[in-house]
Structure 1
Amino acid sequence: MSAAREHGLDEEYLWPRPPVGGWAADDLDRLPNLPPHTELIDGSLVLVGPRTRFHSRAIHLLVSALTGQAPEHLEAIGEMTVKLDNRNRPEPDVLVVPVDADTGSRQTWFKPEDVVLAVDVVSDDSVERDREVKPRKYARAGIPHFWRVEENDGLPVVFVYELDPATQSYGLTGIHHKQLKLDAPFPIDVDLTGVDRRGGPGGRG
């Protein structure tokens, strides 16, 4: 009898032992029974906690608004991974990518050079990753625009960053509370108070 069965554990849900040097980016597509939204950071698997209602609504608001306002050659998509390198495959909450970056219905990740904008909505279990770890990695990979979304009194606050290619780091260009109005990466105008309206931007409360 295996040790798992001896202790009353279902072997189907046990984690395989990580290889020497950690997991690789492609392992996310091969490992069985990974929980939804598992990320790879520096060769380690990172499990994401349950989504809050605010988190889900903020993602929906931004995907809907960006979808409606992006130029025809770009699209907004939620919760897909970016293969930054062989040891890092994070999952931003929202991405803006070229339409022609679509490789088919079974696609699970994008290349960093295809990402125009990455957005992370901060959760209680992801504060350090979303504020420090992931932005540094996005910047080093050359992703030109990054937004960090935090909750304040039930509403989104959007911290907007733009890449300085000379230093491969982000500079803060603005903090937006009730209205997100920008010219880059394309003209964007989002009513952030719409996060509580059913149906997203323009939906009925």
Structure 2
Amino acid sequence: MTAEPFPQWLRPPPGGFVAEDLDRLPDLPPHTELIDGSLVFACPQAEFHMLVISLLESALGRLAPAGMRVRRQMTVTLGRDQRPEPDVLVVRAHTDGGLERRTYWPDEVVLAVEVVSVESRTRDRERKPQLYAKAGIAYFWRVENGDGHPVVYVYELDPATKTYALTGIHHDRLRLSVPFHVDIDLTGIGRM
């Protein structure tokens, strides 16, 4: 039995992949990200991950003010070799791009949310928040699995240092006044 040849399109070009490559490489699996010039492929997600995304997408969609929209699993082009895909995004509604749009720009993003998975723990906890902060995205939430219940770590950007400061850890209920009024029952995933 012979091994299948390594697909040539997976070989990084000199200098690594660039953001536009996600739109032109053939046969990329869904939810492929570009982090530091390398392609990152998503693993199948656990039920917890998908339930939290659905809960946040639905709740934020109801709570977002008129000038904002909620999106799930769309990439954000942060630079030449950075195009991560947050699990949930809140973006400004006045952005262009229409229905063919494949990515957002940092100045369009109000909030990026990552639901931590076992396989993406380091990226979700460390690298992606660094990238979002450096790009100037004002708010970041990291959601962890606390024995079957979401625990939301809320961060706000310090514009002087371009780093995030932890502003709260929320277990049963997420109540915030920024980036807009938020009140979400986090125990709701048990009823989904």
Q: TM-score range by the shorter chain?
A: over 0.9
TM-score, normalising length: structure 1: 0.90
SS in 1 for 2:98: coil
Structure 2 counterpart of 1:127? 121
Structure 2 counterpart of 1:62? 56
Q: Pick from 42, 67, 71: which aligns with 2:65?
A: 71
Structure 2 counterpart of 1:109? 103
Q: Pick from 182, 185, 193: which aligns with 2:179?
A: 185
CA RMSD, aligned part only?
A: 1.4
Q: Pick from 11, 19, 28: which aligns with 2:22?
A: 28
Alignment of 1:164-175 (within 5 A): 164-175=158-169
SS in 1 for 2:12: coil
The alignment status of 1:146 with 2:140, answered yes or no, reads yes
The alignment status of 1:161 with 2:155, answered yes or no, reads yes
The alignment status of 1:194 with 2:179, answered yes or no, reads no
**Where in structure 1 do 4 or more consecutive aligned residues deviate above 2 Å?**
6-11, 13-16
Structure 2 counterpart of 1:98? 92
Q: Deviations over 1:118-167 (max 9, x none)?
A: 00000001111011100011000000000000001111000000000000
Letter of the 1:105 counterpart: L
CA distance in 2, matches of 1:161, 1:113: 17
SS in 2 for 1:147: strand
CA distance in 1, matches of 2:59, 2:113: 13
The alignment status of 1:9 with 2:9, answered yes or no, reads no
Aligned in 2, Cα 1:102/1:54: closer, same or farther, shift over 3 Å?
Answer: farther
Deviation, 1:9, is 2.4
SS in 2 for 1:50: coil
Letter of the 2:118 counterpart: D
CA distance in 2, matches of 1:163, 1:131: 15
Structure 2 counterpart of 1:201? none
CA distance in 2, matches of 1:123, 1:143: 22
- Count of aligned pairs between the two proteins: 192
CA distance in 2, matches of 1:76, 1:10: 41
CA distance in 1, matches of 2:69, 2:102: 16
- Where does the alignment leave 5 or more consecutive residues of structure 1 unmatched? 1-5, 199-205
CA distance in 1, matches of 2:94, 2:60: 17
Structure 2 counterpart of 1:203? none
CA distance in 2, matches of 1:172, 1:16: 37
Deviation, 1:101, is 1.6
- Where does the alignment leave 5 or more consecutive residues of structure 2 unmatched? none
